[in-house]
Structure 1
């Protein structure tokens, strides 16, 4: 077998930035009060609850579905999600692997626009807002930041390493919605325009799971943005 046997990507729980962005947008504010680095953004109270629900669900899964290897984004919100989930699962008698950190699984780098909402960009960087509108979300490169092709390149390298180092094993990634988009673009060869249409119907909700299984020499999509561990109340945080 030349690939991993199963690949699961979990998006982190709702972050304080997810919540602040949504609040600012709902109230039409051009500031959300957040400072610091995106990499240091923590889980919100809802995010902790989501990670706890994920852990309870993980505790119910059969041993032959547990990941052999877990790889995590270096961002705090992703690390907190897996730590909370595995601590919860352990409290229910089920132990999961500790995560290996891979810097290539970070969120899309936004450079000078880091932690800015669309309204904040329009107010502070109107020329960039116009360029974003002209280029489109996936091809736009923020000053000092990445296009989605850049994200895809580093995620592709991660997948190649996982296939080389862990063929035939079950692998779980804890990361960001941008990573999920990149994985679908790579494994299914879906154009970004097609992915955008899919996301308009099925957003990559916080702590949702996207899973691929090895069949006929390749990894095929089994489920996308699934939320078996979340209640309807928890599922409202569909934030980018």
Structure 2
């Protein structure tokens, strides 16, 4: 099978839900009080500025195609970043964030207090295979991402493709592109917080994709760039 020449993943910009989620976690709350459903959470003003900075990055590393999560915050990030670049833009539901089911809108404390049996079950099975009732495991998300990337390689050989998605997506695309093991992915997830509007990318070397950058935020560190924030409304409760 032909390989892409370049693959990048951009995490969405700071959303209004990110700020609320961080306040809930640090304040010891059990519930993250967000009025919208997760798919409808918009970017904050800072997130819009971060998306503009991603646009400057993409002008230097021009993609042939953008594939975007259907969630509002990712679509807004892509629309702002791609403005004026004349890059085709496709929304694909396989890039949506991991669905948390009964854990949705609970903080880490909230899971421990309200769903202690689920907390125990997750500890037993581990994050990779644990599937909350009504939600997805990491392995479930990998199945849809694997199908998406295979399709992209088949339809766009030697293409330059950028994905606009979520924190977990960045980690899982790295798992797939670099042929990692479960332990590698879990150690990476434990050690790394994917920054809002960070860029991770891989380039073709023969028939393989090799790492080029990971969780890079240099484009956000211009003198006039907004401060980087790293929280995600739909991040898995600790």
**Distance in 1 between residues matched to 2:73 and 2:98, nearest whole Å:** 14
Of the candidates 133, 151, 158, which is equivalent to residue 123 of structure 2?
133
Q: CA deviation at 1:68?
A: 0.6
Alignment RMSD: 1.9
C-alpha contact (below 8 Å) 2:15/2:43 kept by paired residues: yes
**Distance in 2 between residues matched to 1:125 and 1:28, nearest whole Å:** 16
Equivalent positions of 1:1-240 (< 5 A) are 2-59=2-59, 61=60, 65-87=61-83, 90=84, 95-231=85-221, 234-237=227-230, 239=232, 240=235
Report the TM-score when normalising by structure 1.
0.88
**Distance in 2 between residues matched to 1:51 and 1:77, nearest whole Å:** 10
C-alpha contact (below 8 Å) 2:194/2:230 kept by paired residues: no
C-alpha contact (below 8 Å) 2:193/2:230 kept by paired residues: no
Q: CA deviation at 1:103?
A: 0.6
Q: CA deviation at 1:236?
A: 4.0
- How many aligned positions are there? 230
Deviates more, 1:39-48 or 1:76-85: 39-48
Q: CA deviation at 1:238?
A: 5.0
Q: CA deviation at 1:66?
A: 0.8
**Distance in 2 between residues matched to 1:127 and 1:35, nearest whole Å:** 27
Report the TM-score when normalising by structure 2.
0.89
* C-alpha distance after superposition, 1:46-91 (max 9, x if no partner): 21221122223434x1xxx31111100111110011112223xx3x
**Distance in 1 between residues matched to 2:191 and 2:132, nearest whole Å:** 26
- Closer, same or farther: CA 205–86 of 1 in aligned 2, 3 Å: same
Alignment partner of 1:174: what SS? strand
**Distance in 2 between residues matched to 1:12 and 1:147, nearest whole Å:** 21
C-alpha contact (below 8 Å) 1:112/1:145 kept by paired residues: yes
State the 4+ residue runs in structure 1 displaced beyond 3 angstroms: 56-59, 199-202
- Closer, same or farther: CA 116–45 of 1 in aligned 2, 3 Å: farther
**Distance in 2 between residues matched to 1:205 and 1:12, nearest whole Å:** 9
C-alpha contact (below 8 Å) 2:22/2:231 kept by paired residues: no
Q: CA deviation at 1:141?
A: 0.5
Please, which runs of 5 or more residues in structure 1 have no aligned partner?
A: none
Q: CA deviation at 1:44?
A: 2.3
**Distance in 2 between residues matched to 1:188 and 1:56, nearest whole Å:** 27
* C-alpha distance after superposition, 1:136-163 (max 9, x if no partner): 2222101011111111010000000000
C-alpha contact (below 8 Å) 1:72/1:78 kept by paired residues: yes
Q: CA deviation at 1:230?
A: 0.8
